[in-house]
Amino acid sequence: MRLAIDDIGVVLGGRPVVSGVSLAIEPGRVVGLLGPNGAGKSTLMRALAGQLPFIGRMALGPQDLATVGTAERARLIAYLPQTRTIGWRLKVRDLVALGRLPWRPFGRPASAGDRAAIDRAMAMMDVTALAERIATELSGGEQARVLAARAVAQETPVLVADEPASGLDPAHQITMMQALRRLADEGRTVLVSLHDLTLAARWCDEIAMLMDGALAAAGPPETILTDARLADVYGVTAHRAHDAGGLILAPVDLVGRDGRP
């Protein structure tokens, strides 16, 4: 489903934290939400997930999200928050199974379809081997993957993931991006915030660059992640290379220290 974010504004603590952001994401696309700390990425995502009041309009296909109730929203949008807190001493499989709750009436046992979705989500996030472990006893990165599996198990048309790769080892960062890519290839709409420029450049179809709560630029990675923009938005210089998989971008210094760019 096409996600249309139109002229969105969010005020927090009396301050406009996001203002005038418009963005459209087509099904099948992975859009990377980038920008410095405090740019408003999480705020925009939380508004999208129905956790913050906003002005403007958000629509999923023909549906205005303002008119969608909590239960229906959970069947449309899965949201993976930046803060990875597991509150309950549940087994990993039982925690991932919570992702199926929007789809089944309270108290009804998991169906074969639910179990297949749970198995698939755990495999995609490489947590199958952890299924019987207590989730709160896992490492930080393992817990992050379990929470991501819960969001994937929700099988919503839209996935909103706030820094899902942070804290993951290199292999699991790639696993995570492959999973997002696969979900998009299946027709889902994916919005993912990232700080890793190479992951963003290689795995996202488009980059939306936020700065001070506003959209500074949006478009294909190659046109957005220019030296000038990285200097302007992040204040960094970056080493740039290409291979068959696309662009490789490694931040190397703060702008000015070596006289570049």
Ligand X SMILES: Nc1ncnc2c1ncn2[C@@H]1O[C@H](COP(=O)(O)OP(=O)(O)OP(=O)(O)O)[C@@H](O)[C@H]1O
Binding site for ligand X (CB under 6 A): 12-13, 15, 17, 35, 37-43, 82
Min CB(181)–ligand X separation in Å: 22
Min CB(157)–ligand X separation in Å: 24
Euclidean distance between CA atoms 180 and 191, whole angstroms: 9
Q: Which is nearer to ligand X, 51 or 178 (CB)?
A: 51
Euclidean distance between CA atoms 18 and 9, whole angstroms: 5
Q: Which is nearer to ligand X, 45 or 77 (CB)?
A: 45
Cβ(201)–Cβ(171) below 8 Å: no
Q: Which is nearer to ligand X, 39 or 148 (CB)?
A: 39
Report the residue closest to ligand X, judged by CB.
Answer: 13
Min CB(219)–ligand X separation in Å: 19
Q: Which is nearer to ligand X, 35 or 99 (CB)?
A: 35
Min CB(145)–ligand X separation in Å: 19
Q: Which is nearer to ligand X, 42 or 143 (CB)?
A: 42
> Strands 55-60, 3-12: parallel, antiparallel or unpaired by DSSP?
antiparallel
CB environment 43-79: b (16+ within 10 A), e (fewer)? bbbbbbbbebebebebbbeeeebeebeeeebbebbbb
Cα–Cα distance list, 3 to 157, 160, 172 (Å): 10, 11, 27
Min CB(37)–ligand X separation in Å: 3
Three-class secondary structure of residue 154 per DSSP = coil
